[in-house]
Amino acid sequence: MVRKIALEEHFGTADPDIVEQSREHFTEQTWPPHRRQLLDVQDERLRLMDEAGIEFVALSLLAPGIQGLPDRAQAVDWARRTNDVAARHVELRPDRFAAFAALPLQDPEEAVGELRRAVTELGFKGALVNGFSEVDGDRIAYLDEPQYRPFWAAVEDLGVPVYLHPRDPLPRDSRMLEGHPWLYGSAWGFSVETGTHALRLMASGLFDEHPGVQVILGHLGELLPFNIWRTDHRLKVKPAGIPARKPLREYLRANFHLTTSGNFARPELLFTIDEVGADRVLFSADYPFESMGEAAAWFDALDLDHEVHEKIAEGNARKLLEL
Ligand code: GRE
Ligand code: ZN
């Protein structure tokens, strides 16, 4: 068994009642066990980690989490309370758990304050943000927008990574998916939404202004490694006013880390290593939406060079999270 660290592993809380956000991804039969697994941190989760050889996990709130709360005051309150829950779990088992903060990005100043509190007072290792934030009813805000530059400055200053985790696009913005419910969620929509958000970050010039920022993407990079060359290739013909100074592929190779969460496919992994390098690929499962056992059995059996296998299993995570 290969000793591993995992970075996209979710929990939920019943107080505040945010766990119900995940119900829509399951059937009547499959929801109760997944609800139980989201609420559990110290019991079944630790047993499954032991069985899978996952020594250490960075916990994060489920999706869309705080990003899905259009009421600012509620977003601020629930972010604090769910971060306090995560902090208590880490305090009980600091040898097995760390945490990524949930942030009320509906209010950029509050988000910076909560990130600073989480990192400097609670010892969190970064933040996990579930894509765009719903703000005051029907507005949505992406992280490349100018009101978030102070947030990114704080991220760079604190030296912690931000995990850009999927969420679904809103139905009103999704004529492309309309009438085909299977195109929503983790089967497809999550990756298109999140990969597009990541391209917006790259093109915005964010990483020219804050070259120290590191963004983590799950699911082997949300389709980007396979298409980034072509994106740059076509943008040479028509740059369309992009503020970024470099080809986007350079940011993918300098400002992103990619995890194996929910994408347990050998050719795709080898391709991703080839595209961004073995130092930027990290093991993860995506529990409890995915099985830690399945992720680990696939990963452990890979015929990778020993040094590469070890880096992806835990070495890269130790460096990135300063463990
Ligand atoms: C995820 O966290 O990636 C996830 C969900 C819901 C369903 C599937 C899935 O939040 O992978
Ligand atoms: Zn996830």
- Cβ 162 vs Cβ 127: under 8 Å: yes
Q: Which tens digit of pLDDT belongs to each residue from 43-56?
A: 999 999 999 999 99
Ligand nearest to the CA of 187: 1
Is residue 155 included in any domain, yes or no? no
* Relative orientation angle of helices 189-203 and 224-237, to the nearest 10 degrees: 50
Threshold 0.90, pTM exceeds: yes
**How many structural domains comprise the chain?**
1
Is residue 125 included in any domain, yes or no? no
Closest residue by Cα to residue 157 from 212, 98, 103: 212
- Cβ 125 vs Cβ 99: under 8 Å: yes
Is residue 292 included in any domain, yes or no? yes
Q: Is the pLDDT of residue 96 over 90?
A: yes
- SS3 assignment, position 5: strand
Is residue 150 included in any domain, yes or no? no
Among the listed residues 107, 144, 168, 286, the single catalytic one is 286
DSSP 169: P
- Cβ 120 vs Cβ 160: under 8 Å: no
Cα 110 to the center of its chain, rounded Å: 20
pLDDT above 90 coverage of the chain, percent: 98
Q: Which tens digit of pLDDT belongs to each residue from 208-264?
A: 999 999 999 999 999 999 999 999 999 999 988 899 999 999 999 999 999 999 999
Closest residue by Cα to residue 312 from 272, 267, 254: 272
Q: Which tens digit of pLDDT belongs to each residue from 266-298?
A: 999 999 999 999 999 999 999 999 999 999 999
Is residue 168 included in any domain, yes or no? no
Decide if 286 is catalytic.
Answer: yes
Is residue 297 included in any domain, yes or no? yes
Cβ atoms within 10 Å, residue 171: 11
Is residue 103 included in any domain, yes or no? no
Residue nearest to atom 3 of ligand 1 (CA): 286
Is residue 41 included in any domain, yes or no? yes
Averaged pLDDT of the chain: 98
Q: What pLDDT shows up at residue 303?
A: 97
> pLDDT-based confidence at 138, cuts 50/70/90?
confident
Ligand nearest to the CA of 25: 1
Cα 197 to the center of its chain, rounded Å: 12
* CATH number of the domain residue 26 falls in: 3.20.20.140
Range of the domain at 293: 1-63+260-323
Pocket of ligand 1 (CB under 6 A): 10, 25, 62-63, 166, 185-186, 262, 286, 289
Average pLDDT over residues 108-133: 98
